[in-house]
Amino acid sequence: MEKDITKSDEAKSHDELPERKNFIREVIDNDLKANKYEGRVQTRFPPEPNGYLHIGHAKSICLNFGLARDYKGKCNLRFDDTNPTKEEMEYVESIQEDVRWLGFEWDKLLYASDYFEQLFEYAVQLIKKGKAYVCDLNADKIREYRGTLTEPGKDSPYRNRSVEENLDLFMRMRNGEFPDGSRTLRAKIDMASPNLNMRDPVMYRILHATHHRTGDAWCIYPMYDWAHGQSDSIERITHSVCTLEFTDHRPLYDWFVEELGVYHPQQIEFARLNLTYTVMSKRKLLQLVEDGNVKGWDDPRMPTISGLRRRGYSPESIRLFADRIGVSRAESTVDVALLEDCLRDYLNKHASRVMAVLRPLKLVIENYPDGGVEELEAVNNPEDASMGTRKVPFSKVLYIEKEDFRETPPKKYFRLSPGVEVRLRYAYIIKCTGVVKDEKTDEVIEVRCTYDPETRSGLPQSSRKVKGTLHWVSAAHAVNVNVNLYDRLFNVENPGGDNWKDSINPNSLEVLKDCKAEPTLATAKPQDRFQFERMGYFCVDNDSREGSLVFNRTVTLRDTWAKIEKS
Ligand code: ATP
Ligand code: MG
């Protein structure tokens, strides 16, 4: 069953970014001028449904769908589903959801498996032309015969089978007469080619496996290189955009369509996205999920689209990121801080400010009337007056952050300490008069203070200035919430190599229970985003329910990590 997923309203509601030139657009502009492809632009995004999409795929999605949008062309979503043992419907569905959430709509939803019969017929054509043969070498032998970058390969002993024999064997491969791995169909090109991809590449392998769409109809499956270009050709793709590792495959891509004499799309390669502190292959991400290093594909620490969504990313922030990094042919690694900055840009404009205390310390205002409550006016977003104001209750007993009080303050500590004055946000100037300590642990469990009723925010200001302003929550009105604080999933900038799992950060998640939030948050819904003043941006977790709210910290207000690293 396919889920009914509609493009998120949020994704639709914001203006598109201005077009930005890149080398792919230059190629297209020239093709349009030369009237190649009758002036059409047709792209596709071709994921293999063997995992959830990640931020690297988002780059490719923004590129392919963005080209179609800007050139008034079309972009298909095509599942490259030629690997039945690794592919699942769960992935097919999540990929559609993620593309739509990012704000894109495909022209056609297609599957390489839609073309299995056509691809088989194409293969028969190549056999008849003497351009493909059935080979009985096993995988190890094929590799051995292939040669190396410095040595030519050797011809397979089966290379010169007659067309009739090849046709018969290929049909019997299809009919299931042979075991897995016993034979392949190979293109007959050139075992001495300097390009290893041209040394009689495998087109079909035997695999008795159930496919998530075609079931048991097939026991031979096309290889990527054979399926991909021909699928592009069938769909009359004009510009087949892919990542640089396929540059060496382009001669083969071109060879197949030329030999078949079919429509010929243009493959164009660009540099894939790499991000610091991040692993980006689906294989590794799957391993993190399977080994329990994270709680699932949509764990907010994952670089998957679903993880970023759960973390509080907006589609706009990801599109802005794709725009800022641009598209080129130069391999590079982008600082993950750039992604976070795009997110802050968005959240600064769109997130409501609220007050919440993550590590509460009780503050009692000795001269404030018992039982008194004031509703103080607070601004929802200083960046956007249209977001209005709200009322926040103030009373005698409040919570402040533990880290906002020090009994013996270090130098330049502008927060609260005995004898010192600070302002409470939207409220009054207070002065600390003393503390109450736990008799056993000597820990400060309560801060005492007095307030000056003349200093209420919004009243004509006295000349008195204080250095610190603290956020707070009224104890009697506070909503208890749990908060997940996230840090990078990896400790090193480039978690590569065989031992990549050794650099997993063991402290990437900190769970805070019974944090105190202002009462407006009581009705917050999953995915709602806020700025907790001074503490960062947060969103309501998907598993959150009214009465037991869980917030994920999406990102800190500034990049504290960069500062720590520099110091
Ligand atoms: P992975 O190695 O993560 O599994 P993949 O390339 O095998 O990635 P596909 O599902 O085959 O994943 O990719 C679909 C499309 O997304 C391809 O066109 C691919 O080039 C592109 N893509 C994948 N990873 C990146 C990346 N890091 N940056 C840009 N594009 C990417
Ligand atoms: Mg792949």
Residue with tokens 């609220």: 354
Tens of pLDDT along 510-562? 999 999 999 999 999 999 999 999 999 999 999 998 889 999 999 999 865 55
Q: Which residues face 392 on adjacent strands? A: 376
Residue ranges, CATH 2.40.240.10, the chain: 353-477
Tens of pLDDT along 91-111? 999 999 999 999 999 999 999
Tens of pLDDT along 319-352? 999 999 999 999 999 999 999 999 999 999 999 9
d(CA 85, CA 221): 11
According to the model, what pLDDT value does residue 272 have?
Answer: 97
Pocket test for ligand 1, best of 60, 75, 88, 98 (most atoms within 8 A of CB): 60
Q: Which residues face 479 on adjacent strands? A: 517
pLDDT of 161 strictly over 50: yes
Q: Domain 7-114+229-283+312-344, what architecture?
A: 3-Layer(aba) Sandwich (3.40)
CATH class held by domain 353-477: mainly beta
- Provide the 10 A C-beta neighbour count for residue 154: 14
| 23 — pLDDT class (breaks 50, 70, 90) | very high
Q: Which residue, 241, 236, 308, is CA-closest to 65? A: 241
According to the model, what pLDDT value does residue 269 have?
Answer: 98
Q: What is the DSSP string of 14-66?
A: SPPPPP---HHHHHHHHHHHTTGGGG--EEEE---SSS--BHHHHHHHHHHHH
Tens of pLDDT along 300-323? 999 999 999 999 999 999 999 999
Helix (H, G, I), strand (E, B) or coil at 92: helix
pLDDT of 357 strictly over 80: yes
Q: Token pair for residue 558? A: 């500034």
272 tagged catalytic = yes
| 206 — pLDDT class (breaks 50, 70, 90) | very high
Does the reported pTM lie above 0.85?
yes
Q: What share of the chain is helix, strand, coil (3-state, %, to 5)?
A: 35, 25, 40
User: Checking DSSP bridges between strand 274-275 and strand 333-334, what pairing results, if any?
Assistant: parallel
Q: Which residues face 531 on adjacent strands? A: 353, 537
Mean residue pLDDT of the chain comes to 94
Tens of pLDDT along 221-268? 999 999 999 999 999 999 999 999 999 999 999 999 999 999 999 999
d(CA 200, CA 185): 9
Whether residue 559 has its Cβ less than 6 Å from ligand 1: no
For residue 281, how far is its CA from the centre of ligand 1 (angstroms)? 8
- For ligand 1, atom 13, the nearest C-alpha belongs to 47
CATH topology of domain 125-222: Glutamyl-tRNA Synthetase; domain 3 (3.90.800)
282 tagged catalytic = yes
According to the model, what pLDDT value does residue 463 have?
Answer: 67
Which of 21-25, 58-62, 164-168 is least confident?
21-25
d(CA 306, CA 310): 6
pLDDT of 27 strictly over 80: yes
- Give the helix ranges, DSSP H, for 406-454: none
pLDDT of 1 strictly over 90: no
Q: Count Cβ atoms within 10 A of the Cβ of residue 409 and give its class: 0-12 exposed, 13-18 middle, 19 or more buried.
A: middle
Q: Measured from the CA of 46, which atom of ligand 1 is nearest?
A: 14
48 tagged catalytic = yes
Residue ranges, CATH 3.40.50.620, the chain: 7-114+229-283+312-344
Annotated catalytic residue, options 7, 159, 236, 272: 272
According to the model, what pLDDT value does residue 213 have?
Answer: 96
pLDDT of 443 strictly over 80: yes
Distances (CA, A) of 506 to 325, 490, 503, 551: 30, 9, 9, 21
Whether residue 56 has its Cβ less than 6 Å from ligand 1: yes
Q: Which residue, 215, 234, 223, is CA-closest to 197? A: 223
Helix (H, G, I), strand (E, B) or coil at 25: helix
According to the model, what pLDDT value does residue 7 have?
Answer: 41
According to the model, what pLDDT value does residue 217 have?
Answer: 98
Q: Which residue, 551, 6, 69, is CA-closest to 311? A: 551
Q: Token pair for residue 309? A: 């969504």
Q: Which residue, 476, 472, 482, 451, is CA-closest to 399? A: 472
Strands, sheet with 220-222, edge to edge from the N-terminal-most edge strand: 132-135, 184-187, 202-206, 220-222
Tens of pLDDT along 457-488? 887 766 678 989 999 999 999 999 999 999 99
